[in-house]
Structure formats: structure tokens, C-alpha cells
């Protein structure tokens, strides 16, 4: 949530140019640590996150729109790896816990940020107008547009101007809906399985009502 607030107030000049990249890199580092994922790819991902943060600071000194676009795609890449790690982790849960629910929420929010960074980066690198209605969009515009697409609200105030942008938008909307359908069904099955196991483990004494007490006197 802090990332989103900083992003919506960011600009292409000053501290707010590189601060979002720093927060996203920190999100990747903390996410890999708290999710406790294991694998050969964890350390390279951490190194890549630190490299992105360092590159963002350098870009803030004397960067261009093209370099900012490259950084956007790099941030989308490291966040995508984090998402894969979180998904692989919570799919191993045998019961639904608070960590399971929080992991699902984090992944859904990260989907929106990843597509915002991807489209923002491509817009900066290619140099073509991405939105029909806004020739000079900010990063906040891409984040807003990404979550509108992800949740399939479809306000229509911003629409992609290129065929490539339309393809990305269609894929994001489809991914968002498929993620909700599959993950919700997974959570329901885990919760149902846990409830059945609890009922099966209960003894007959646990299922019987307590005996009535004789009247006093």
C-alpha cells in the first residue's frame, strides 16, 4: 500500500523519480524473506532487486525517459519472480491461515503493479503514445489504468491506442479473473477439507450435548 501511495504522488523529476523503484526493490527483498521461499533463484533475484535500486538512483541524477522505461521493465521482472515465489509458497498450505489470505491479496495487488510497470516501461522505450486520451501520461496514470483493467471495471476514461497495448490489456483482465476463480476455489477446498478433518477428529463425547443438571433442593 505504501508503494501505491508513493507511486501516485511520483513524478519524473527529483526524489520521486527514483523513490518508487527503491520501495519496489525493498518489497521484493522483504517479500522473499517473509514468504520463506527456497531455491537457486532466490539469491540472484535479491541481487537483481538491489541492482535495480542502485540503477534507479543513478537514473535520478541524469536519466532519460528511455532509461526510466528500462527500469520499469526491470522492476516488473523482479516483481514477477516474487509473485511466482509467493504463489508456490501458499499453494503448499494445507489449511487456510491468515498468511494464506494475505499472500493472495499481495499477489493480486502485485499483478496490478507489474502490468503498470510493464506498460509504463514499454511506453518509455518505444516512445509511442499508449493512451488515446492522454499523450503524456504519468506513472500514476498507468497504475490507475492497470487496476481498472485488473478488476474489469472498464471506466473507459483511458484506453490503449496500439494493438500491442490492447493485447496486454486483454491478457491482464483475463489473468485477473482466472486468478480469482482458481485461488478462491483453492481456498474454499482447503477450508472445507480443514472443517471435515476437525469434525472427523471430534470424539462422540464432544458431539453429545452436556447432561442436564438435577434441580437444586
Over residues 134-163, the mean pLDDT reads 89
- What ranges do the domains of the chain cover? 2-199
pTM score, two decimals?
0.82
10-25 pLDDT, tens digit each: 666 667 677 888 888 9
C-alpha closest to that of 170 among 119, 134, 109, 100: 119
Q: How many angstroms separate the CA atoms of 166 and 190, rounded?
A: 36
Is residue 74 very low, low, confident or very high in pLDDT (cuts 50, 70, 90)?
A: very high
E-strand stretches of 14-97: none
107-117 pLDDT, tens digit each: 999 999 999 99
The answer on pLDDT for 150 being more than 90 is: yes
Is residue 170 very low, low, confident or very high in pLDDT (cuts 50, 70, 90)?
A: very high
How long a stretch of residues is the chain?
217
- Rounded to the nearest integer, the mean pLDDT of the chain is 82
Counting other chains too, the contacts that 3-12 makes at CB distance below 8 Å and 24 or more residues apart are: 3/27, 3/113, 4/109, 4/113, 4/143, 7/113, 7/116, 7/139, 7/140, 7/143, 8/140, 8/143, 8/144, 9/140, 10/138, 10/139, 10/140, 11/138, 12/65, 12/68, 12/138
C-alpha closest to that of 82 among 45, 115, 117, 56: 45
Question: What crossing angle do the helices spanning 65-90 and 42-62 adopt, rounded to 10°?
Answer: 160
Grid cell 477446498 is found at: 189
Question: What crossing angle do the helices spanning 98-126 and 139-150 adopt, rounded to 10°?
Answer: 130
The answer on pLDDT for 72 being more than 80 is: yes
Amino acid at each position: 500500500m505504501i508503494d501505491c501511495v508513493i507511486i501516485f504522488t511520483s513524478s519524473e523529476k527529483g526524489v520521486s523519480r527514483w523513490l518508487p523503484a527503491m520501495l519496489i526493490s525493498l518489497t521484493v527483498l522483504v517479500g522473499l524473506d517473509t514468504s520463506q521461499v527456497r531455491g537457486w533463484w532466490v539469491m540472484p533475484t535479491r541481487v537483481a532487486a538491489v541492482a535495480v535500486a542502485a540503477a534507479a538512483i543513478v537514473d535520478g541524477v541524469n536519466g532519460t525517459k528511455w532509461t526510466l522505461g528500462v527500469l520499469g521493465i526491470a522492476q516488473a521482472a523482479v516483481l514477477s519472480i516474487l509473485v511466482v515465489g509467493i504463489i508456490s509458497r501458499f499453494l503448499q498450505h494445507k489449511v487456510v491461515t491468515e498468511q494464506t489470505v494475505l499472500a493472495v491479496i499481495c499477489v493480486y495487488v502485485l499483478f496490478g503493479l507489474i502490468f503498470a510497470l510493464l506498460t509504463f516501461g514499454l511506453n518509455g522505450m518505444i516512445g509511442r503514445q499508449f493512451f488515446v486520451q492522454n499523450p503524456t501520461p504519468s506513472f500514476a496514470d498507468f497504475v490507475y489504468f492497470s487496476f481498472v483493467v485488473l478488476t474489469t471495471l472498464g471506466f473507459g476514461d483511458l484506453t490503449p491506442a496500439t494493438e500491442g497495448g490492447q493485447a496486454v490489456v486483454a491478457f491482464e483482465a483475463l489473468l485477473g479473473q482466472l486468478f480469482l476463480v482458481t485461488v478462491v476455489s483453492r481456498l474454499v477446498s482447503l477450508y472445507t477439507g480443514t472443517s471435515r478433518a476437525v469434525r472427523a477428529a471430534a470424539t462422540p463425547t464432544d458431539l453429545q450435548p452436556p447432561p442436564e443438571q438435577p434441580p437444586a433442593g
